[in-house]
Structure 1
Amino acid sequence: MEGVSDNIELVLPFKAGYVSVARLVASGVGSRIGFDIEAIEDIKVAISEVCNKLVSIGSKVSDCYKIVYSVSEEGLKVTYLCDDPSIKCVFKKESDALAIHIINALMDEVELCTDKHVLSMFKVLERDA
């Protein structure tokens, strides 16, 4: 992803009630950069999958996790970060297969289990010719 023009950072506690805030921010950012309603809904569903997983596993070290919405001419990258070093690969069990499938189906690029972040996903902004 080249040419990041804006980063929006959101820090949320490991509480289910705040997942809607992450979805709302995605909706606002997505609308602002030109995604249509279907693409915004895809992004929001993928964000919910990740946030709900993070909330369900929680952390014994950190009270919160961070979501970075990186806007570029190409689209939107959503990156999840946490200060807890044990939270690096949240989707790794067979029971996570459906969530992984949903995220991969809705987003154009997904990075799981890296040393840099918990997870990142990217949605290409389709432009009319």
Structure 2
Amino acid sequence: MAQYDYIEIKIPAKAQYVGVARLMISGIASRLGFTYDDIEDLKIASSEAITNAVQHAYGADDEGEIVVGCALYEDRLEIMIADHGASFDFEETKKHIGPYSDASEARFLREGGLGLYLMETLMDEVKFHHEEGVTVFMTKYLGGERGEEDVKRSANS
């Protein structure tokens, strides 16, 4: 198993704290050496995941929290966004909002669909776990998508 550092914060499930998590992720990504464009991608995808949790995980009267965790590896950043609110069936939701044949279709997506589309588009890997709440795992590889080095090696052979 690869060595990594792990950083975690818990924020109230309120919209005004999304920016706090974005700043943390931006700082970590910058420290790891991600490009400006990759940092922007990380911030957008993370914001979408956190905003989904803020809007859908807890009722109006619930006092919930969202956990934002970052695992820092040599070659990637793994981000976990977790809540303990109401869960949803990702595969069922995905059936109703995708697939997307081109970017022009994105503007016609139902509410919530664009966030899932952005997460999957901007990150190299996205996984969802839903039981007691929803946990989103997103991975961004440093210097390009996973497998890109294998493609370069094959092209040079």
- TMscore range, shorter length: 0.7 to 0.9
8 Å CA contact retained: 2:87, 2:130: no
Question: Does residue 112 of structure 1 match 2:111?
Answer: no
8 Å CA contact retained: 1:88, 1:114: yes
Change (3 A) 1:12 1:73: same
Question: Structure 1: which 5+ residue stretches go unaligned?
Answer: none
Alignment correspondent of 1:123: 140
Alignment correspondent of 2:50: 51
Offset, 1:35: 0.4
Identity %: 29
8 Å CA contact retained: 2:87, 2:131: no
* Coordinate RMSD, CA, aligned: 2.5
Change (3 A) 1:57 1:114: closer
TM-score when normalising by structure 2: 0.70
Bigger proportion of residues as helix: 2
Alignment correspondent of 2:31: 32
Q: How many Å separate the matches in 1 of 2:88 and 2:142?
A: 28
TM-score when normalising by structure 1: 0.83
Offset, 1:82: 2.5
Offset, 1:97: 2.6
8 Å CA contact retained: 1:42, 1:106: yes
Q: How many Å separate the matches in 2 of 1:72 and 1:106?
A: 19
Which amino acid in the other structure matches residue 70 of structure 1? A
Alignment correspondent of 2:12: 13
Alignment correspondent of 1:83: 84
TM-superposition CA deviations, 1:82-121 (whole Å, max 9, x none): 234x336579363333221111111000002455951110
Offset, 1:32: 0.5
Q: How many Å separate the matches in 2 of 1:69 and 1:121?
A: 10
Change (3 A) 1:99 1:110: same
8 Å CA contact retained: 2:80, 2:138: yes
Which amino acid in the other structure matches residue 11 of structure 2? L
Offset, 1:59: 1.8
Alignment correspondent of 1:67: 68
